[in-house]
């Protein structure tokens, strides 16, 4: 079986497909650890040296995931992109910029095929569980201690994003009146609301339609938003991207949000914080549906936890002397926009998810 050392990449109708045979992930990791260059048109962007001795053996990660992650020798994770996309991808630049940020899985290398990112190689975090497990456990148990920790984690991530590096020498921007920024936010949110209204049918759709004016009022502050600072954000920061592992919490998956049309890389920090907070509300809905948690208890838990996330996020920014990184007036409108995006996502990709954003919206606007 000497042939199967690198994955296969096929291109048809302008779309790439990646196939990874058994044993390939382990072979690739060992080749990279030896410093071997892959055969063209593969290319490697090295970020941190791999451990010299990676044990043999590979096993796939089996949780719900968009891509295909495989663990090699219980030390390295390779995230393969089964449908690689040509052109710029946010993760390599972000991970290079975040070099030294300890609260993510150490990134070792990016593997490209021509101009398409096909894999990310990172450190394996032992005993890692993502928030769709651990945070739902907390909701079920009514424990909120985690909230201060993930609020701080989000702030530390943003502080690292806002610190100059060779990759991003100017990581904090003020929007220009003629450039992307506040001027585009109201239309982007309105578009999300309209799509959510159009795509949500039945009783839920009728309920939403009856609240359209209320939701629009919540979005209104976007129209008078100040030109607050823009940074590179995570872009898809929900509890599922926060792993609780042997040594604490870590944030992973810098692929951004493929369902957002506004591909502007620099965004207000409030977008990440809004998404993180709403994901805590979603965890409460999951606990009610899947674990039989009492709905009132779950809502009270979510209200307390999301407030603690906000407080500890703010405290961490203040401690670092960077309180200006968060424009709090954007938080609520972005949370509303996020719930619209969850409804759009449910309608287009995962109908059984609709209950979560609907449950949250119904609790916010009884």
Provide the binding-site residues for Mg ion, judged by CB under 5 A. Answer: 253
**Closest distance between ligand ADP and the C-beta of residue 106, in Å?**
8
Q: Which is nearer to ligand ADP, 16 or 317 (CB)?
A: 16
- The residue from 26, 144, 228, 241 that contacts ligand ADP (CB under 6 A) is 241
Q: How far is the CB of 64 from ligand ADP (least distance, A)?
A: 8
User: Which of 72, 136, 237, 243 contacts ligand ADP by CB under 6 A?
Assistant: 243
Q: Is residue 339 a contact partner of residue 208, using CB atoms and an 8 Å limit?
A: no
Query: Residue 27 or residue 135: which is nearer to ligand ADP going by CB?
Result: 135
Question: Cis ω on the peptide bond leading into residue 41 (within 30° of 0)?
Answer: yes
Continuous segment of H or E residues that includes residue 272: helix 269-291
Distance CA 142, CA 155 (A): 24
C-alpha radius of gyration, the chain, whole number: 21
d(CA 221, CA 213): 14
Backbone angles phi, psi at 245, to 5 degrees: -130, -175
Binders of ligand ADP in range 71-130 (CB under 6 A): 77, 79, 105, 122-125, 128, 130
Q: Report the side by side order of strands in the sheet with 129-130.
A: 129-130, 242-245, 248-251
Instruction: Between 244 and 310, name the residue whose CB sits nearer to Mg ion.
Output: 244
Helix (H, G, I), strand (E, B) or coil at 281: helix
Residue 253 interacts with ligand ADP (CB under 6 A)? yes
Q: Is 306 in the site for ligand ADP (CB under 6 A)?
A: no
As measured in angstroms, the least distance from the Cβ of 91 to ligand ADP is: 9
Q: How far is the CB of 364 from ligand ADP (least distance, A)?
A: 27
Instruction: Pick the piece of the chain touching ligand ADP (CB under 6 A) from 238-246, 280-288, 306-314, 342-350.
Output: 238-246
d(CA 115, CA 41): 9
Site for ligand ADP contains 275 (CB under 6 A): no
252 lies in the binding site for ligand ADP (CB under 6 A): yes
Q: Does 61 help bind ligand ADP (rule: CB under 6 A)?
A: yes
- Per the CB < 8 A criterion, the answer to whether 41 and 16 are in contact is no
| Residue 57: Cβ within 10 Å count | 10
Please identify, using beta-carbon distances, which residue of 172 and 239 lies nearer to ligand ADP. Answer: 239
Q: CA quadruple 195, 196, 202, 206: dihedral positive or negative?
A: negative
Closest separation between CB of residue 192 and Mg ion, Å? Answer: 21
Contact stretch for ligand ADP (CB under 6 A) within 4-12, 20-28, 64-72, 109-117: 64-72
- H/E run at residue 213: helix 212-219
- 364 CB burial (10 A radius; 0-12, 13-18, 19+): middle
105 binds, among ligand ADP, Mg ion, none (CB under 5 to 8 A by kind): ligand ADP
CB 9 within 8 A of CB 17: yes
Cβ atoms within 10 Å, residue 308: 19
| Binding partner of residue 335 among Mg ion, ligand ADP, none, CB cut-off 5 to 8 Å per kind | none
Residue 67: contacted member of Mg ion, ligand ADP, none (CB under 5 to 8 Å, by partner type) = ligand ADP
Question: Which residue, 101 or 132, is less far from Mg ion as judged by CB?
Answer: 132
Q: Report the 10 Å Cβ neighbour count for 31.
A: 15
In the list 63, 206, 261, 350, the residue contacting ligand ADP (rule: CB under 6 A) is: 63
**Site of interaction with ligand ADP (CB under 6 A):** 61, 63, 65-67, 69, 77, 79, 105, 122-125, 128, 130, 240-241, 243, 252-253, 255
């Amino acid at each position: 079986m000497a042939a199967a050392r690198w994955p296969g990449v096929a291109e048809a109708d302008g779309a790439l497909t990646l196939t990874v045979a058994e044993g390939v992930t382990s072979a690739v990791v060992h080749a990279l650890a030896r410093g071997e260059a892959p055969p063209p048109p593969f290319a490697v962007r090295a970020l941190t040296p791999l451990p010299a001795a990676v044990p043999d053996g590979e096993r796939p990660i089996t949780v719900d995931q968009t891509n295909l992650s495989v663990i090699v020798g219980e030390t390295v994770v390779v995230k393969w992109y089964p449908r690689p996309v040509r052109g710029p991808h946010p993760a390599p630049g972000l991970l290079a910029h975040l070099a030294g940020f300890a609260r993510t899985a150490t990134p070792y290398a990016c593997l490209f095929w021509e101009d398409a990112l096909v894999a990310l190689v990172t450190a394996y975090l032992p005993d890692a569980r993502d928030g769709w497990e651990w945070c739902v456990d907390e909701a079920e148990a009514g424990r909120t201690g985690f909230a201060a920790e993930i609020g701080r984690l989000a702030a530390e991530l943003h502080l690292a994003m806002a610190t100059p590096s060779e990759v991003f020498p100017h990581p904090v921007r003020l929007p220009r009146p003629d450039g992307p920024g506040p001027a585009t936010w109201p239309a982007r949110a309105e578009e999300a609301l309209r799509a959510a209204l159009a795509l949500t049918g039945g009783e839920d759709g009728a309920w939403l339609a009856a609240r359209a004016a209320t939701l629009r009022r919540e979005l209104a502050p976007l129209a008078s938003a100040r030109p607050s600072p823009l940074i590179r954000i995570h872009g898809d920061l929900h509890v599922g991207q926060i792993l609780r592992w042997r040594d604490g919490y870590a944030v992973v998956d810098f692929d951004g949000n493929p369902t957002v049309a506004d591909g502007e890389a620099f965004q207000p920090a409030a977008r990440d914080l809004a998404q993180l907070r709403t994901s805590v509300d979603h965890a409460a809905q999951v606990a009610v549906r899947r674990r039989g948690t009492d709905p009132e208890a779950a809502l009270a838990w979510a209200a307390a936890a999301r407030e603690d996330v906000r407080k500890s996020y703010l405290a961490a920014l203040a401690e670092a002397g960077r309180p200006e990184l968060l424009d709090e007036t954007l938080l609520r409108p972005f949370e509303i926009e996020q719930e619209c995006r969850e409804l759009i996502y449910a309608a287009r990709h995962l109908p059984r998810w609709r209950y979560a954003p609907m449950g949250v919206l119904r609790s916010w606007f009884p």
